[in-house]
Amino acid sequence: MILCDIGNTYIHFCDTYKIWKNLPDEINKKELSSDVYYISVNSINEKKLLKAHKNSYNIASIVNLDTPYVGLGIDRKAACLGVENGVIIDAGSAITVDVMDAGNHLGGIILPGLAAYTQAYRSISPALEKRINFGMDFDELPLNTQSAISYGAIKSVVLTIKEIVGDKKAYFTGGDGKFLAKFFEKAIYSEMLVFNGMQISIDKALKKHKEQK
């Protein structure tokens, strides 16, 4: 059984302890040697998985999170399911920040992903078309455009996450999760958060199925 999380940019796979990601147009079929159980936030990329691997099954209907939040993405639901208390930050194309308290989802926010910041600056003016400097020093005020946009993007994301996290535990996942976790004392980084929640959902569904027999 392979677990699969279809995002807006990448398709992430998990086969027991092995994790990998493919671009939707570059799915490595050789890796997909068994049934794939997936969730998806992008219907175009979902079709690409189904084309690459027929035996793929959407398990959204068994990924259940109690929440008053309307329209919570299925990947956010899955990531939250594995955390009883804490803040879950999934830093991918978008950066989602969700609060779990005693197993209840209290709400969450959405920031642009760091790549989306680069794209946003570029779209404002060619003069702002610079790479984010991930090694920059935040103790000094920026003295050039690259530092100025790097400070703006990274600091704004970090400060907003800090505002939500407070003294709670922060669980990071996603492509930029490892980088962002560095700015937090009580941070845990795991590539497995979404897959953990999917596995919890599958286990629950199987248990229920057995009980009904």
Residues that bind its own copies (CB under 8 A): 8, 41-42, 68-71, 73, 93-96, 99, 106-113, 116-117, 119-121, 123-125, 127-128, 140-145, 148-149, 151-153, 155-157, 159-160, 163-164
Helix axes 145-165, 114-124, angle to 10 degrees: 140
Closest CA to 7 of 95, 131, 100: 95
Q: How far is the CB of 97 from its own copies (least distance, A)?
A: 8
Nearer to its own copies by C-beta: 9 or 200?
A: 9
Q: Would you say 69 is a known binding-site residue?
A: yes
Q: How far is the CB of 159 from its own copies (least distance, A)?
A: 4
Q: Would you say 43 is a known binding-site residue?
A: no
Nearer to its own copies by C-beta: 121 or 189?
A: 121
- For 157, residues 6+ apart whose C-beta sits below 8 A from its C-beta are 95, 111, 114, 117, 180
B/e letters for 105-125, b = 16+ CB within 10 Å, e = fewer, are beebeebbbbebbbeebeeee
- Burial, 74: exposed, middle or buried (Cβ in 10 Å; 0-12, 13-18, 19+)? buried
Among candidate residues 25, 75, 98, 101, the one labeled active-site is 75
Nearer to its own copies by C-beta: 53 or 98?
A: 98
Task: Cite the DSSP H helix spans in 145-213.
Answer: 145-165, 177-181, 193-212
Q: Would you say 203 is a known binding-site residue?
A: no
Nearer to its own copies by C-beta: 68 or 135?
A: 68
Q: How far is the CB of 2 from its own copies (least distance, A)?
A: 24
Q: Are 181 and 193 in contact (CB under 8 A)?
A: no
- For 166, residues 6+ apart whose C-beta sits below 8 A from its C-beta are none
Q: Would you say 131 is a known binding-site residue?
A: no
Q: How far is the CB of 174 from its own copies (least distance, A)?
A: 13
Q: Would you say 144 is a known binding-site residue?
A: no
**Catalytic site includes residue 98:** no
Which positions make up the binding site for substrate?
69, 73-76, 145
List the catalytic residues. 75
